[in-house]
Structure 1
Amino acid sequence: MIVCVCRRVSDQTIARCARSGMDFDDIQMEHGVATQCGKCESCARALWSECAPGLSVAHLQKHDEPFQSAALA
């Protein structure tokens, strides 16, 4: 999928760069992501943050019922 229409940069390109350790600023310099109209910046940054190594991302789930231990059930 093309993330940056102005510079024709795909999600695969952003993910590959992020996984290789590039900072978002480096991706902007090399590929021009979010340097023209800027409409893709939030999507591009979110994709980068998901794929960048060393950045822990918490995935939280909301449960409707309070947690009960199996021993209590």
Structure 2
Amino acid sequence: MYVCICRGVTDNAIREAVEDGARSWREVRERTECATQCGRCACTAKAITRDAITQEMMPSEDLAYAV
């Protein structure tokens, strides 16, 4: 879904920025240019960024050792 209409940024682009190493809203904004024009998308984009960072930082179940 498009999050930032002004810059054409999607939720997938935000998640990809996090997958590529962005670890803060500031870094995501710099990489995607999301919310750099009118700013109406900032709250939604921040929420998506927070969710993506949380998912990225959680340990994956497939990496767990079998007991």
Provide TM-score, normalisation by structure 1. 0.66
Aligned residue for 1:47, secondary structure, equals helix
* Offset at residue 42 of structure 1 (A): 0.5
How many Å separate the matches in 2 of 1:29 and 1:21? 12
- Please, what is the CA RMSD of the aligned residues? 1.5
Percent of matched pairs sharing the same residue = 31
* Offset at residue 51 of structure 1 (A): 0.7
* Runs of 4 or more above 3 Å deviation: none
**Paired position in structure 1 for 2:18:** 18
The unaligned stretches of length 5 or more in structure 2 are 59-67
**Paired position in structure 2 for 1:60:** none
How many Å separate the matches in 2 of 1:26 and 1:39? 18
* Offset at residue 20 of structure 1 (A): 2.8
How many Å separate the matches in 1 of 2:45 and 2:20? 16
The unaligned stretches of length 5 or more in structure 1 are 56-73
